Copies of this chain bind each other. A is one copy, B any other.
């Protein structure tokens, strides 16, 4: 039986072997939710970039540049980190260069994996289906908040473990902790997230609407995948 494990913070990645894994990178608030939304609205590709200056340079190469630090859009960038900026015709057929506080760093640190896909509540069932058909062992990499474990990414990891439970075997205790958390909270994800430190931080930025949206399950059916350093669908 395939195994599933959860890395609750990118700081713990050195403890995991990545070579045989399909890694699911998760940054619910809001990087991976934005990425999934952009592909649902026809973006051509998203290049995750860990460094702010490198991302800025992509503008001259025809990319939309998207950047967030500490929850706020970066000055001079085309877009920030709200999924509502990636809807309608704004991104159709476009290449996007994307840098965020946590999500794009998590992708960067996972690059030794056999393959990397992007997960969010918005494409939960599509990710589940993808993983069911993949032959690789699974590692969910939670982006967290500046290295620390966070509630929303752990909840999503728990949702994946729960939905895959009849087909995979937990490799360690983190999947059990996440699954337990999700099962207790699934009827009121928004309510439990109101207690999280990151949401308190984001509420100060007045993005309650974003948060509710990022917790919506199965709105889209895309599974972004990293190919030659760019996410494509």
Pair A15/B8 contact, Cβ less than 8 Å:
no
Interface string of A146-161 (1 = CB under 8 A from B): 1111110010000000
Pair A146/B15 contact, Cβ less than 8 Å:
yes
Pair B173/A180 contact, Cβ less than 8 Å:
no
Q: Which of A165-217 contact B (CB under 8 A)?
A: 170-174, 176-177, 180-181, 184-185, 192, 195-198
Q: Which residues of B contact A148 (CB under 8 A)?
A: 12, 15, 172-174
Pair A197/B170 contact, Cβ less than 8 Å:
yes
Chain B: which residue is nearest A154 at the CB level?
B177
Chain B: which residue is nearest A179 at the CB level?
B195
Pair B196/A173 contact, Cβ less than 8 Å:
yes
Q: Which residues of B contact A174 (CB under 8 A)?
A: 148-149
Candidates B15, B151, B180, B196; contact of A11 at CB < 8 Å: B15
Integer count of this chain's copies in the complex: 2
Candidates B15, B184, B197; contact of A184 at CB < 8 Å: B184
Q: Which residues of B contact A185 (CB under 8 A)?
A: 180
Instruction: Give min CB distance, A7 to chain B, whole Å.
Output: 9
Q: Which residues of B contact A184 (CB under 8 A)?
A: 180, 184
Pair B147/A173 contact, Cβ less than 8 Å:
no
Candidates B151, B173, B177, B180; contact of A176 at CB < 8 Å: B151
Q: Which residues of B contact A173 (CB under 8 A)?
A: 145, 148-151, 154, 196-198
Residue among A8, A149, A180 with max Cβ neighbours from chain B (10 Å): A149
A120 CB within 8 Å of chain B: no
A9 CB within 8 Å of chain B: yes
Q: Which residues of B contact A197 (CB under 8 A)?
A: 170-173
Instruction: Give min CB distance, A169 to chain B, whole Å.
Output: 10
Q: Which 3 interchain pairs have the tightest Cβ spacing? A: A151-B173, A150-B173, A15-B147
- Taking A8-B149, A148-B173, A176-B196 as given, write out 15 further A-B residue pairs in contact, using a Cβ cutoff of 8 Å, ordered by the A residue number: A8-B8, A11-B15, A12-B12, A15-B146, A15-B147, A145-B172, A149-B173, A150-B173, A151-B173, A154-B177, A173-B196, A176-B195, A180-B180, A180-B184, A184-B184
